[in-house]
Amino acid sequence: MSHASKKISQLLGKAARRYNMLANGDHVLVAVSGGKDSVALLYLLIQHQARVPINYTISAVHVDPGFGVDSAGRMERFFSGQIAHYRVLRTGIGPMAHSSSNRENPCFLCSRLRRKLLFETAEELGCNKIAFGHHKDDVIETFFLNVLYGGSLSTMMPVQDFFDGKLSVIRPFYMVDEHLIEGFAC
């Protein structure tokens, strides 16, 4: 195990304990975009699952935005070698978000629709948690963006409950610096 892998695993475990992210019986849906953060999260969460005395299930999902790049095929090949329970959702979200009929910011619309699909998939699969690969740098950046552009002192939380606690978003990399993930991914 590399230095980066060990350090990330320690910080993932620390965040999971401190913020009560994982419990016996949880079914965690890992949202995997295909980028370094979410791929590392899936890989290290699977390793974490094997080392801790907590019995939880992991499923993975990739939302293909439909830009014509074969991210769906690549993710299916990746998932089939990593995890038993996965879904690849082929959508047209990307082109729709960038169409002339969309009056919103394309990134905002795409993000909202992708999040909606993730929540629906979590419900279909019986998941009570969705794990995102947001790391400490994302948390800090979001804080400053909210201060500068939103006029609020807020950022992403390590655990955020939705639908009266029926579903929680967790961020196991909450304490992890991005450079560690980059070192792990290389």
Instruction: Quick: pLDDT tens for 109-144.
Output: 677 888 999 999 999 999 999 999 999 999 999 999
C-alpha torsion sign, points 182, 49, 2, 11: positive
> Does residue 102 have a pLDDT over 70?
no
CA atoms of 42 and 127, how far apart (whole Å)? 15
> Left, alpha or beta for 66 (phi > 0: left; psi -120 to 50: alpha)?
left
C-alpha torsion sign, points 181, 178, 72, 86: positive
pTM metric for this prediction: 0.91
Cβ-contact 135, 147 below 8 angstroms = no
- Average pLDDT, stretch 34-53? 94
Six-digit token string for 185:
């991914």
Confidence of residue 26 (pLDDT cuts 50, 70, 90): very high
> Does residue 3 have a pLDDT over 90?
no
The DSSP code for 73 is H
Domains of the chain: 3-185 (3.40.50.620)
> Does residue 44 have a pLDDT over 70?
yes
> Does residue 88 have a pLDDT over 70?
yes
Mean of the per-residue pLDDT values for the chain? 89
pLDDT at 47: 94
